[in-house]
Amino acid sequence: MRLSKKVSLISIAVLLLVVVVIGAVLLSYAKSQIIEHTIEQAKAEHRNLNTSFAEMTAYYLADEDSPAVQRTLVIYCFSRFATDTSVLIHGAETLYTRTALDSAQLLPLQIGEEQKVFSGEVEGRNILLVGQIVSLNDSYYSVYRVEDITYIYNNIQQMIVRFILIGIAGLFIGTLLILLLVHRLTKPLLMLKEASAQIARGDYYIRADIHTRDEVGELAQDFNAMADAVQSHIDKLTDMNERQSLFISGLTHEYKTPMTSILLHSETLLTADLDKISTENSLAHIHDQCRFLEQLTHKMLSLLVLEREITPQKISLPELLEDVSQNCFQNLMDHGTPLTIRCEADSVTGDYDLIKSLLINLIDNASKASEPGQHIHLRAYKQTIEVSDNGVGIPEDSLPFVFDPFYMSDSSRSKKGGGSGLGLAIARRIAEAHGAKLLIESKPGQGTTVRLIMP
């Protein structure tokens, strides 16, 4: 069963129990109080009546009066005080009554007794009977007060009915309030449940939007923290997967073009009788493409080799920059892009050959991006080695991808520059292997700056 249902049912049951018990106790108490009060009042009134009646009778009655006169006088005096409920009996004779009830039979009185009370049902009516012996001139009179208190019982019954109605209404409102409150209290739990179900379905960005200041709120916070962790892990994995599949598709594409021309030319040579020039041309293409594939394989291997740890050593920067410049000299001369060197730092720690190949690669890129006559700057300062050019630059939307393997900002992947698209990817791997940062800044038409910042 759902928690909200459980809590609601239990609360409603408790509420019901409380209402019923309190109602029952209160009602029975009220009932006995009312009846007791009625009896006490009746007794008091009856006593007053009797006293008044006795005093008046005693005042007027004389011993010498004949019994008939005495009888008339007694009746007269009684009638002065009597109400509709009063009954006067003398011996077996009823002197005064307005009711049909035989009071003496219901409540026989003995001489010398105090006030007596009878309360009960007679012929379907609730009757309250108070009886008292009044002594007058050595004669004993039974005086009764016969009261129909059915209306009191009716009132009590009406009160009970009203109470039950009010109780039901109260229960109804109480139930509604409980349901509302329980719903409000358990709503965060439901939201949490919904959120976790969505996350389980793969919507890792879902969070629980709960800000209550209780245990549920804390749980939600922890839950969100957990979801953050899961999402960042998933994102990392997805990113890695994407990079990997991009790498593979890039590699496949990179192999496809040379493979196509090798297949094309070799099949042509095999099946057709070409003239000597065409034959040589086809063979030259096959040769070039095989060489390109060989270089590509070599670069791929160096990417794989870089997975290993490197052995760092102290590198003298002036020596390194000189070495790099000598290596690039011929290439830069061919392009007509001279290199200027500024060395403002002594040394860095790293793998000499790898850093050197990284710098040669950056300078090679800078040269390809520049027009003849434009300078390329190689500069070392603090822990930074910087290669900058004033060449064509890289479009802004391409910048985030330039370190991705096989990425070329020109969609046709034309090999005008002769690159494979692996150079910067290898450079980044080299930087990563050193724990260094490789940052690129570029503006189309103004040039590019690549900085290697050693840790």
Partner 1 sequence: MSKNRILVVEDDPAISDGIAVNLLYSGYDHVLIRDGNEAAQALLHDHSFDLALLDIMLPGLDGFALFEHVKKYDIPVIFITAKTDSASEIKGLLNGAEDYIVKPFDVMTLLVRIEKVLNRAGKLDQILRFSNITIDLQEHTVRRDEAEILLKPMEFEVLVLLVRHKNRTIPRDKILNEVWGTDFFGDTRTVDVHIANIRKKLGVDGLIKTIPKYGYRLEG
Instruction: For residue 412, state whether it binds partner 1 (rule: CB under 8 A).
Output: yes
CB nearer partner 1, residue 137 or residue 260? 260
Give the amino acid at 431: A
CB nearer partner 1, residue 113 or residue 267? 267
Residue 315 structure tokens: 């590198």
Instruction: For residue 294, state whether it binds partner 1 (rule: CB under 8 A).
Output: no
Q: Which of 8, 282, 388, 420 binds partner 1 (CB under 8 A)?
A: 282
CB nearer partner 1, residue 97 or residue 289? 289
Q: Which of 135, 260, 295, 297 binds partner 1 (CB under 8 A)?
A: 260
CB nearer partner 1, residue 413 or residue 437? 413
Instruction: For residue 212, state whether it binds partner 1 (rule: CB under 8 A).
Output: no
CB nearer partner 1, residue 330 or residue 411? 411
**Considering the complex, what minimum distance in angstroms separates the CB of residue 267 from partner 1?**
5
CB 393 within 8 A of CB 442: yes
CB nearer partner 1, residue 55 or residue 242? 242
Instruction: For residue 10, state whether it binds partner 1 (rule: CB under 8 A).
Output: no
Which one of the spans 109-117, 184-192, 238-246, 282-290 is the region binding partner 1 (CB under 8 A)?
Answer: 282-290
Question: What number of other Cβ atoms are within 10 A of residue 367's Cβ?
Answer: 23
How many amino acids of this chain bind partner 1 (CB under 8 A)? Answer: 30
Instruction: For residue 209, state whether it binds partner 1 (rule: CB under 8 A).
Output: no
Instruction: For residue 382, state whether it binds partner 1 (rule: CB under 8 A).
Output: no
Question: What number of other Cβ atoms are within 10 A of residue 144's Cβ?
Answer: 27
Alpha-carbon 360 to chain mean position:
56
What is Dmax (Cα atoms) for the chain? 180
Q: Which of 5, 256, 342, 443 binds partner 1 (CB under 8 A)?
A: 256
Q: What are phi and psi of 171, to 5 degrees?
A: -60, -45
Instruction: For residue 263, state whether it binds partner 1 (rule: CB under 8 A).
Output: yes
**What CA–CA distances, in Å, run from 160 to 30, 94, 154, 171, 360?**
10, 39, 10, 16, 102
Closest CA to 400 of 248, 251, 243: 243
Which one of the spans 48-56, 280-288, 305-313, 332-340 is the region binding partner 1 (CB under 8 A)?
Answer: 280-288
CB nearer partner 1, residue 126 or residue 409? 409
The residue length of the chain stands at 455
Radius of gyration of the chain (CA): 57
Give the amino acid at 286: I
3-class state of residue 291 by DSSP? helix
> CB within 8 A of 437, min separation 6: which ones?
431, 451, 452, 453
Instruction: For residue 291, state whether it binds partner 1 (rule: CB under 8 A).
Output: no
Instruction: For residue 281, state whether it binds partner 1 (rule: CB under 8 A).
Output: yes
Give CA torsion, residues 416, 420, 424, 428, to 10 deg: 180
Alpha-carbon 43 to chain mean position:
69
Instruction: For residue 248, state whether it binds partner 1 (rule: CB under 8 A).
Output: no
* Beta bridge mates, 146: 129
Instruction: For residue 273, state whether it binds partner 1 (rule: CB under 8 A).
Output: yes
CB nearer partner 1, residue 254 or residue 386? 254
Applying CB under 8 A, the residues found at the interface with partner 1 are 249, 253, 256-261, 263-265, 267-268, 270-274, 278, 281-282, 285, 288-289, 410-415
